[in-house]
C-alpha cells in the first residue's frame, strides 16, 4: 500500500516535470511579424511543436488565457483584425497518441484603427525652376511601401507605386500631392495622406489690392470697388483669389464690387493671381489692404461771413468736411422756414446743381436775413453727407413781407426785464427764433410764450448776446435784432433797429431801476462826444457818419457798447425817371441848337458877299468884274429868319475886260412863298425870291433894294400870338457878269 502510493507520487512528479520542462518547446509566431497591426489587416498565427510531425498534434489558440480557437489539426490560423482582437496570445499542442501537451510562448498583438499616411513637405512655395522634398510615413509600424500621386486640375497622376526607395521624393512641378502606404499580401493600404499643394510662384510679378477711389475713409451706404491689380505678368490669363478677415468673402474675380458698404465689409484684404493653364502656378499674395467702413456719415461744418449784412456786401459760405480732397463736391442751399413741420426746407442755390469743386460759395445781392446749409457728395450714384447745421446772415433792414420790432426798443437789457417781440408782415403764422453766442438755435416756446405774432419774454435770464428774428408761414425771414443782457450796472439806451438818415435819435443811460438824467458822458467809437450835465445824447438829423459803437458812462460806471446802424435813404425809382427825362430833353435841345448855329455859320461863311478890293486905275475909281450869267438861269436865295439877311452874288472875274462900269439901281421885290400843309414859323420863316440877272448895256455895278413882304397875320399858336412881322428892306450888292453875246 505504501509502495503503490510512492509510485503514484513519482508518476505525478514526473508528469509535472515533464510538462514544465517542455512548455517552452512550442513556438507561436505571427506572419507578418509586425508590432502593430491596423484594423482590416490580416495576421496568421503559426504554432510550431518543434518535434514530430505536424499531423501528430492537435492545436488550439488561447487569448488572454481563454480559448480563442478550439483544438483542430491546423497549425496555422489566419485572422482578419479589428481593434477587439488586441491581447496576449498563446498556442497549445496536444499529442494525438500520448495526449502529451506542449504550450507555446506568449505573443502580444496590438491593433489600431486603420492607418493613415502622413505627408511632410518642405516649403510649399517654390520659385520657377526650384524643387521641394516630400516625405510620406505611417507612424508606429513598419513594412510600408508608398504610392505617390499628383493632381493638376481634374486629372490625377500616379507617380510612384511600390518603389524600393519611395518614402522621400523631390518634385519641381506645381500641383497637389498626396501619398498612401501599402504592405502585406494581399496588399493592405493605409488611408491617403492629406493633400499638400506645391505652388510655383512668379517672383517678377507685382500684386496689389486697390480701392477704386483712394479715399481715406469709407462710410456706410457708399458704393465702392476693391480691385486686384497684377503688374508684370505679360499676356498671362489670370484667375483671382482673395482672402480676407471680413465677414464677407469676395468672389474670385478681378473686381469686388460693394454696392452698399457696411461694417461687415471692414477687414484686411489680400489677393493673388493664378494661371488659368496651371492652377498651381500663381503669384505671391499681395500686401494686406485694410478697409474700414464707418457707420456714421460725416456732417460738414458751415461758416458764413459776414454775420451781419452791410449794403452791397456779398456773403461767403465755407463748407468744411474732413478730408476735403477725398473726391467731395459741395452743394449749397438756402433755408426756407416750414412752420407746419417745425423745420427748414432747403432750396438749391443757383449754379450748383452738380455741386462745386471748391468748398466755398459767394452769394451776391443778398439784402435781407437768410439761412444757409451745405452738404457734400461723391461717387456715382452720389453719396451725400448729412446736411450741415443752419447758419444765418442777419440784416437789420426791414423786409417788406416780414419785420420784427422790440418793446422796449433798445439793444441792451437787464436780466429781470420783460420784452415782447412782435412780428408783422403778409402772413398769419409766425415763429420767433433766437441764436446765442454758443451756436444754439431755439424758438420762442423754449424761453417765452408765443401768442399769435407776439413772443413775450417775462424775464430775460441769459447774460449773453442774442440775435432774434421772425419767420413767417410764407417762408420769409424778418430783420434781425441783436439784444445783449446783463445782470447789473448800467446799460445804454439805443434803438434796436437801424435809424434812417435824417431822422432824430436820442440815446440815454439806464440803471436797473431808473433812467440816469444828468452828468452822463457819451462815447462814439471810443471817442468822447458829450460831457456835460445832460443825461441824453440828442442827434437831430442822423447821417451815415453817426453810425458806429456807442456807450455811456456815469458815476464811474460804464455800459457795454452797442452798434447803432444808420440806413441810407434812397429816392424812389419813380421820381428819378422824370429828372433823367428832363435832363435828356434839355441836352438834346441844346445839341440841336448848336448844330443849327453851326450849319448857319457855315452857310453864312460860304455865301456872304465879298466886296471886290479897290483897284486904283484913274482918278475915277471903278470896279471891274466879269460876270457871265445865262439868260435862262435862275438863282434862289433862302432867308431864314434874321440869321441870313445878306447874300453875296458874285460872278467869275474877267481880268481881260477891265472896263469901267456904271452903277445901276434896281428894285427887287421878295415875296413869301408859303409851304402847303405847314404853318409858318415867324421866327424861322424862309423868304424865297427869284433874282434874274440879265446883261446890262454897260455892265455897270448894280445896287438892289429888296423889299420883304409877309402876307397875312401870324396865326395864334397855343394861345400865344406871334410877334408882328414888319416889312424889312434889305440892301444887297449885286455884281453882274459881262455878256459875251
> Is 623's pLDDT higher than 90?
no
Check residue 230 and give its pLDDT. Answer: 92
CATH architecture of the domain covering 16-112: Sandwich (2.60)
Give pLDDT tens digits for 85-99: 999 999 999 999 999
Tell me the C-alpha distance between 289 and 210, whole Å: 8
Closest of 378, 458, 358, 444 to residue 413, by C-alpha: 458
Higher pLDDT, 702 or 567: 567
Tell me the C-alpha distance between 373 and 317, whole Å: 9
User: What rounded mean pLDDT belongs to the chain?
Assistant: 80
Confidence of residue 576 (pLDDT cuts 50, 70, 90): low
Confidence of residue 153 (pLDDT cuts 50, 70, 90): low
Q: Are strands 255-258 and 224-231 parallel, antiparallel or unpaired?
A: antiparallel
CATH number of 118-200: 2.60.40.10
Q: Which has the minimum average pLDDT: 91-95, 252-256, 528-532, 653-657?
A: 653-657
Higher pLDDT, 127 or 407: 407
Question: Degrees (nearest 5) of the Cα angle 39, 43, 44?
Answer: 160
Check residue 571 and give its pLDDT. Answer: 58
What stretch of H or E contains 574? helix 573-607
Give the domain 402-567 fold.
Immunoglobulin-like (2.60.40)
Closest of 415, 449, 417 to residue 432, by C-alpha: 449
What stretch of H or E contains 19? helix 2-22
Contact present, 303 and 320 (Cβ < 8 Å): yes
Confidence of residue 315 (pLDDT cuts 50, 70, 90): very high
Closest of 48, 18, 17 to residue 31, by C-alpha: 48
Check residue 608 and give its pLDDT. Answer: 52
Confidence of residue 174 (pLDDT cuts 50, 70, 90): confident
> Residue 575: left if φ>0, alpha if ψ -120 to 50, beta else—which one?
alpha
- Phi, psi (deg, nearest 5) at residue 450: -95, 120
% of the chain with per-residue pLDDT over 90: 48
Q: For residue 37, give the C-alpha cell.
A: 497591426
Give the domain 204-294 fold.
Immunoglobulin-like (2.60.40)
Confidence of residue 21 (pLDDT cuts 50, 70, 90): very low
Check residue 186 and give its pLDDT. Answer: 84
Closest of 164, 163, 162, 158 to residue 178, by C-alpha: 158
Distances (CA, A) of 144 to 33, 114, 121, 186: 13, 14, 19, 13
Tell me the C-alpha distance between 149 and 180, whole Å: 9
Give DSSP secondary structure letters for 588-612: HHHHHHHHHHHHHHHHHHHHS--PP
Residue 668's Cβ-side half-sphere holds a number of Cα atoms within 13 Å equal to 22
Closest of 189, 153, 187 to residue 173, by C-alpha: 153
Contact present, 375 and 384 (Cβ < 8 Å): yes
Check residue 203 and give its pLDDT. Answer: 80
What stretch of H or E contains 530? strand 527-531
Give pLDDT tens digits for 239-266: 999 999 999 999 999 999 999 999 999 9
Check residue 155 and give its pLDDT. Answer: 65
> Is 496's pLDDT higher than 90?
yes
Residue 481's Cβ-side half-sphere holds a number of Cα atoms within 13 Å equal to 31
% of the chain with per-residue pLDDT over 70: 75
The segment with the largest mean pLDDT, out of 180-194, 281-295, 585-599, 620-634, is: 281-295
Mean pLDDT of 103-108: 93
Return the domain boundaries, the chain: 16-112, 118-200, 204-294, 301-393, 402-567, 576-607, 608-614+621-741
Check residue 648 and give its pLDDT. Answer: 40
Domains 16-112 and 118-200 share a fold: yes
Give DSSP secondary structure letters for 346-384: EEEPTT-TT-BSSSEEEE-S--S-EEEEEEEEETTTTEE
Q: Which has the minimum average pLDDT: 190-204, 327-341, 354-368, 599-613?
A: 599-613
Superfamily name and number for 301-393? Immunoglobulins (2.60.40.10)
> Is 695's pLDDT higher than 80?
no
Higher pLDDT, 674 or 205: 205
> Is 58's pLDDT higher than 90?
yes
Check residue 609 and give its pLDDT. Answer: 45
> Is 424's pLDDT higher than 90?
yes
Check residue 519 and give its pLDDT. Answer: 94
Check residue 651 and give its pLDDT. Answer: 43
The segment with the largest mean pLDDT, out of 30-44, 139-153, 474-488, 593-607, is: 474-488
Higher pLDDT, 725 or 579: 579
Distances (CA, A) of 147 to 131, 157, 175: 19, 11, 16
Amino acid at each position: 500500500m505504501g509502495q503503490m502510493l510512492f509510485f503514484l507520487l513519482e508518476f505525478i512528479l514526473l508528469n509535472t516535470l515533464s510538462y514544465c520542462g517542455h512548455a517552452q518547446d512550442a513556438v507561436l509566431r505571427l506572419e507578418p511579424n509586425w508590432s502593430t497591426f491596423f484594423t482590416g489587416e490580416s495576421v496568421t498565427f503559426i504554432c510550431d511543436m518543434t518535434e514530430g510531425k505536424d499531423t501528430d498534434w492537435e492545436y488550439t489558440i488561447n487569448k488572454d488565457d481563454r480559448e480563442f480557437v478550439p483544438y483542430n489539426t491546423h497549425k496555422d490560423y489566419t485572422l482578419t483584425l479589428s481593434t477587439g482582437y488586441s491581447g496576449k496570445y498563446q498556442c497549445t499542442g496536444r499529442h494525438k497518441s500520448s495526449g502529451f501537451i506542449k504550450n507555446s510562448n506568449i505573443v502580444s498583438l496590438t491593433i489600431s484603427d486603420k492607418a493613415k499616411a502622413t505627408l511632410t513637405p518642405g516649403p510649399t512655395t517654390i520659385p520657377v525652376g526650384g524643387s521641394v522634398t516630400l516625405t510620406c510615413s505611417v507612424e508606429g509600424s513598419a513594412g510600408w511601401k508608398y504610392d505617390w500621386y499628383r493632381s493638376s486640375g481634374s486629372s490625377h497622376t500616379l507617380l510612384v507605386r511600390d518603389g524600393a526607395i519611395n518614402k522621400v521624393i523631390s518634385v519641381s512641378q506645381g500641383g497637389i500631392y498626396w501619398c498612401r502606404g501599402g504592405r502585406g499580401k494581399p496588399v493592405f493600404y493605409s488611408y491617403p495622406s492629406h493633400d499638400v499643394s506645391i505652388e510655383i510662384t512668379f517672383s517678377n510679378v507685382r500684386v496689389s489690392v486697390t480701392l477704386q477711389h483712394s479715399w481715406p475713409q469709407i462710410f456706410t451706404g457708399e458704393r465702392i470697388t476693391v480691385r486686384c491689380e497684377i503688374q508684370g505678368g505679360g499676356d498671362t490669363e489670370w484667375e483671382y483669389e482673395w482672402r480676407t478677415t471680413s465677414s464677407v468673402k469676395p468672389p474670385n474675380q478681378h473686381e469686388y464690387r460693394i454696392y452698399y458698404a457696411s461694417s461687415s465689409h471692414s477687414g484686411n484684404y489680400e489677393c493673388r493671381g493664378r494661371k488659368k493653364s496651371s492652377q498651381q502656378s500663381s503669384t505671391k499674395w499681395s500686401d494686406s489692404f485694410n478697409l474700414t467702413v464707418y457707420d456714421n456719415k460725416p456732417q460738414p461744418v458751415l461758416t458764413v461771413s459776414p454775420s451781419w449784412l452791410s449794403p452791397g456786401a456779398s456773403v461767403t459760405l465755407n463748407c468744411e468736411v474732413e478730408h476735403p480732397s477725398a473726391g467731395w463736391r459741395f452743394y449749397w442751399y438756402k433755408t426756407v422756414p416750414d412752420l407746419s413741420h417745425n423745420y427748414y426746407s432747403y432750396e438749391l442755390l443757383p449754379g450748383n446743381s452738380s455741386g462745386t469743386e471748391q468748398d466755398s460759395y459767394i452769394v451776391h445781392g443778398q439784402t435781407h436775413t437768410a439761412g444757409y446749409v451745405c452738404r457734400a457728395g461723391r461717387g456715382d450714384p452720389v453719396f451725400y453727407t448729412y446736411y450741415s447745421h443752419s447758419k444765418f446772415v442777419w440784416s437789420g433792414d426791414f423786409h417788406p413781407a416780414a419785420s420784427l420790432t422790440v418793446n422796449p426798443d433798445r439793444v441792451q437789457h437787464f436780466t429781470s426785464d420783460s420784452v415782447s417781440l412782435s412780428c408783422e408782415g403778409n402772413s398769419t403764422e409766425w415763429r420767433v427764433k433766437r441764436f446765442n453766442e454758443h451756436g444754439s438755435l431755439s424758438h420762442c416756446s423754449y424761453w417765452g410764450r408765443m401768442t399769435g405774432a407776439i413772443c413775450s419774454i417775462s424775464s430775460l435770464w441769459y447774460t449773453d448776446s442774442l440775435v432774434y428774428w421772425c419767420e413767417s408761414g410764407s417762408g420769409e425771414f424778418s430783420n434781425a435784432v441783436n439784444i445783449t443782457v446783463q445782470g447789473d450796472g448800467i446799460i445804454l439806451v439805443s434803438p434796436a433797429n437801424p435809424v434812417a438818415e435824417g431822422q432824430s435819435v436820442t440815446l440815454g443811460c439806464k440803471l436797473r431801476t431808473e433812467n440816469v438824467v444828468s452828468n452822463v458822458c457819451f462815447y462814439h467809437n471810443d471817442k468822447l462826444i458829450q460831457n456835460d450835465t445832460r443825461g441824453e445824447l440828442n442827434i437831430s438829423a442822423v447821417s451815415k457818419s453817426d453810425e458806429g459803437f456807442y456807450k455811456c458812462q456815469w458815476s464811474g460806471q460804464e455800459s457795454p457798447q452797442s452798434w447803432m446802424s444808420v440806413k441810407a435813404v434812397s429816392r424812389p425809382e419813380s421820381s428819378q425817371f422824370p429828372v433823367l427825362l428832363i435832363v435828356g430833353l434839355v441836352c438834346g435841345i441844346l445839341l440841336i441848337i448848336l448844330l443849327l448855329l453851326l450849319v448857319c455859320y457855315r452857310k453864312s461863311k460860304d455865301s456872304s458877299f465879298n466886296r471886290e478890293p479897290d483897284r486904283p486905275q484913274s482918278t475915277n475909281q471903278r470896279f471891274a468884274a466879269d460876270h457871265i450869267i445865262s439868260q435862262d438861269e435862275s438863282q434862289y436865295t433862302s432867308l431864314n429868319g434874321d440869321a441870313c439877311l445878306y447874300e453875296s452874288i458874285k460872278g467869275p472875274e474877267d481880268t481881260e475886260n477891265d472896263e469901267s462900269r456904271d452903277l445901276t439901281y434896281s428894285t427887287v421885290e421878295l415875296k413869301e412863298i408859303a409851304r402847303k400843309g405847314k404853318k409858318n414859323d415867324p421866327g424861322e420863316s424862309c423868304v424865297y425870291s427869284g433874282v434874274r440877272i440879265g446883261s446890262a448895256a454897260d455892265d455897270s455895278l448894280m445896287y438892289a433894294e429888296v423889299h420883304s413882304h409877309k402876307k397875312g397875320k401870324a396865326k395864334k399858336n397855343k394861345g400865344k400870338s406871334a410877334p408882328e412881322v414888319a416889312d424889312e428892306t434889305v440892301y444887297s450888292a449885286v455884281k453882274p457878269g459881262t455878256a459875251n453875246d
